[in-house]
Amino acid sequence: MEYVQSTDLKPSCIDWPVHMQRALDLAETVLTASPNPRVGCVLVRGGQVISEGWHSAAGAPHAEAMALEEAGPKARNAIAFVSLEPCAHHGKTGPCSEALIAAGVATVVIPMQDPHPAVSGKGIAQLEEAGVEVIMMVDFEEAARGINPGFLSRVERGRPRVRIKLAMSLDGRTALSNGGSKWITDVASRKDVQLLRASSCAVLTGVGTILADNPSLTVRLDEMGLDADQIKTNALNLQNPPLRVVLDSTLRTPAQSKLLEAEGNVLIYSTASAQSAELVALDSCTLKVAGSDARVQLLPVLKSLASEYYCNDTLIEAGPTLCGAFLRANLVDELILYVAPKLMGSDGKALLDLHGIQTMADTPTFEVIEAQQLERDVKLRLLPQV
């Protein structure tokens, strides 16, 4: 395999960065392909794009297969730009490496290897053994990794990527002193939250939020603001909503809660000593044990979601106690904060429970990676600085 930088390309390959970027962009048109990675593919022959493809959901055609089907016999001697190493194993669909070989593709250009043990290096080896040239554009690796942070987290760390979603006023309050919080943010922010849910494998909350707010935590298509093309691209994913997960150490979740009455299964993680005949009798929830002491253990929950349910991304929508616990445990990969231009008063409820901070050196610090205006609100994406 040859490793190249965009700056080192021959004049005849000057358009390769454009095609590779297009493959990455195609991958990003999909909200999630969990448990698989999001992948895009562009087939080029004679300097002209002949077809494109993307992987829309688990069980759907892979990006390479979609592009090859569109190209037909034109794929012979083409160059395939793929946003991730083609798979070489038999799953719900056939190996993409074999499909590329059978179609007569001459060159495959990728930005990174697939780290999954079932794939890593095997797709490259199979292509090269069949005489297909494989080139890695190393300067696109960071961008390629950025498309699938949840998949990479599950494969490399054994847990999903964890994002916390919070909404607050200008004075850092999430609710009034009487508990009122509808609505802190504008409609545009609430639409964006629906997209966050739809792009996640699991939406996680705590029993405190269930008792206080009685949320359903469902994905509501009519509130997402997707256009017709986006709905078509993500149709399969929208039919398979994310898991809804509750951490409930003493099994206080009411059997009549909206969460359990809505369509779809719910996971409730509790402790070994907790009991609830009412919840055990329900078909709408699965009870799991994650901790033998008084509290549910956070890391075992995440590892269970990754290993048993193949969750790439977990979105936390919870109160200050549980969100603070995840932050204190260094289990948060991204904080998504919606800030509304309102003041809710000093007796309102605080954003996070983070007790015991005595010095500025001990304060959790974040890097702002995105700031976006949503009607009157501002959305901030922040990465914890460890």
Catalytic machinery residues: 64
Closest C-alpha to 38, from 196, 126, 144, 118:
144
Amino acid at residue number 317: E
| CA 358 – CA 186 distance, rounded (Å) | 35
Q: E strands within the chain?
A: 2-4, 40-45, 48-54, 79-82, 107-110, 133-137, 161-168, 173-175, 202-206, 243-247, 266-270, 285-289, 313-316, 334-339, 349-350, 365-374, 377-385
Query: Tokens standing for 373?
Result: 């205006």
Compute the C-alpha angle 246/57/323, nearest 5°: 25
Closest C-alpha to 116, from 162, 153, 165, 81:
153
| CA 33 – CA 61 distance, rounded (Å) | 11
Query: Tokens standing for 9?
Result: 């390309």
| CA 338 – CA 185 distance, rounded (Å) | 7
Please report where in the chains the tokens 């990465």 appear, as a residue. 383
According to DSSP, the residues that pair with 134 across neighbouring strands are 108
